[in-house]
Amino acid sequence: MKIALVGTTAACVYGFRADLIKALVAAGHEVYALALDYDEKSREKVQKLGALTVDYSFSRTGLNPFSDIANTLKLAKILKQIKPELVFSYFSKPVIFGTFAAVLAGVKRRVGMLEGLGYVFTDTPSGTGYKLRVLRQVQALLYRLSFPFLERIIFLNPDDPVDLIDKYRITVKRVDVLGAIGLNLQDYPYSPTVAKAPISFLFIGRLLAEKGVNEYVAAARLVKERYPQTRFVMLGGLDEENPGGLSAATLKQLVEDGLVVHPGHVSNVVDWIIESDVFVLPSYYREGVPRSTQEAMAVGRAVITTDGPGCRETVVDGVNGFLVPRWSAQKLAEKMLFIIEHPERLEKMGQESYRMAQEKFDAQEVNQRLLNLLNI
């Protein structure tokens, strides 16, 4: 078959779709990987996977209807030239407008996948403002218009179809829950936790409010009042254009005060996980199933995360870590203090994380389930 994968960035293609592309190519399919921002290096990476790279244009976040219509027509023209038997779109705008484009191009088979509901459907501690409520209604309308043209829509966690399909009464032929996209587990070697003072906590993610960075920092302050030697590491980039992003000046001050360690951009994330004792993700973003948590679990680390959609799929409370309420630095600090005062629990929790990762996050098994859902 000719299969067109319609996504967003090139980094997402080779970062998150690599195993799927290799599986499709190995099965004899011709794969076209569409992305918005290929450069020479990223194009080469994707081509090495066996896919054909295709450029297309779209605003990832804008809601200019005239621009979106024009780009949908351009995408339809590209798909007409490729003539795929199947268009598989992932992420919000590709699912909406990629589906419309596929219909216009006469592609008979169309499947979409949402890896979380994203920023528009993320609740905030200050409530949902008027602008966000309007954006939700607009996006729900676009889903309502596009989903009936899909043979199925795939989600990663069981909360998302309830909060989207059921709540907004969206018609779709079939809904499936895949679970986590998964990892190449060979890239994440198991490393037993050898708890020793001081305990080291690790946060990985963009330094944004919705990823829980503010709660992580506030909890670090509370913990350091009692155990000042405790280590708090943050891996992730700044996004100062985002209103919820940590500023460079604030981050610099946090580092200078000795509250957190922030090494800047690192390429050896696995080494940092191995050097840590506990992985922490206090996210309230509408995650699918967070990849960073999967990586930490595969290495064998206990996890503290929020009892929210996507995040709760990674932790059995008290078994491989702890679930805490969203937006509560106090509850987060309490669990951190418990671990500091009961370090003997870490080895067993890490073993449970490793067991769960082997059971649920093997990319080969996940991709086979995905291929079954795609009926190819």
pLDDT value at residue 123: 93
Work out how many domains the chain is built from and give that number: 2
Same domain, 167 and 303: no
Same domain, 208 and 134: no
Is-contact 297 314, C-beta < 8 A?
yes
CA 248 to chain centre: 24
Residue 62, pLDDT above cutoff 80: no
Phi-psi region of 195 (alpha: psi -120 to 50; beta: other; left: phi over 0): beta
pLDDT value at residue 337: 98
Same domain, 297 and 222: yes
Residue 92, pLDDT above cutoff 80: yes
Q: Name every residue whose Cβ is closer than 8 Å to that of residue 111 and which is 6 or more positions away in sequence.
A: 86, 87, 88, 89, 150, 151, 152, 153, 154, 373, 374
- pLDDT tens digits, 149-192: 999 999 999 999 999 999 999 999 999 999 999 999 999 999 99
Characterize 3-42 residue by residue with b for buried, 16 or more Cβ atoms within 10 angstroms of its Cβ, and e for exposed: bbbbbbbbebbbebbbbbbbbbeeeebbbbbbbbebeeeb
Domain enclosing residue 140, as ranges = 2-182+362-373
- pLDDT tens digits, 229-273: 999 999 999 988 888 899 999 999 999 999 999 998 888 999 999
pLDDT value at residue 220: 98
Same domain, 168 and 236: no
Same domain, 141 and 253: no
Q: Where are the alpha helices (DSSP H) in the chain?
A: 10-16, 18-26, 40-48, 65-82, 92-104, 130-146, 159-161, 213-226, 248-256, 269-275, 291-299, 329-341, 345-360, 363-373
Same domain, 340 and 237: yes
Same domain, 228 and 154: no
Is-contact 82 33, C-beta < 8 A?
no
Same domain, 89 and 134: yes
- pLDDT tens digits, 284-339: 999 999 999 999 999 999 999 999 999 999 999 999 999 999 999 999 999 999 99
Please report the DSSP string for 327-375 in residue order.
T-HHHHHHHHHHHHH-TTHHHHHHHHHHHHHHHH-BHHHHHHHHHHHTT
Same domain, 299 and 351: yes
- Using DSSP's 3-state secondary structure scheme, residue 128 falls into coil
Same domain, 9 and 145: yes
Is-contact 272 233, C-beta < 8 A?
yes
pLDDT value at residue 243: 81
Same domain, 321 and 288: yes
The arithmetic mean of pLDDT across residues 118-127, rounded, is 91
**CATH number of the domain where residue 224 is located:** 3.40.50.2000
Q: Name every residue whose Cβ is closer than 8 Å to that of residue 100 and which is 6 or more positions away in sequence.
A: 72, 76, 146, 149
pLDDT value at residue 63: 73
What's this model's pTM, rounded to 2 decimal places?
A: 0.93
By the 10 Å C-beta count (0-12 exposed, 13-18 middle, 19+ buried), 152 is classed as: middle
Same domain, 347 and 367: no
Residue 37, pLDDT above cutoff 80: yes
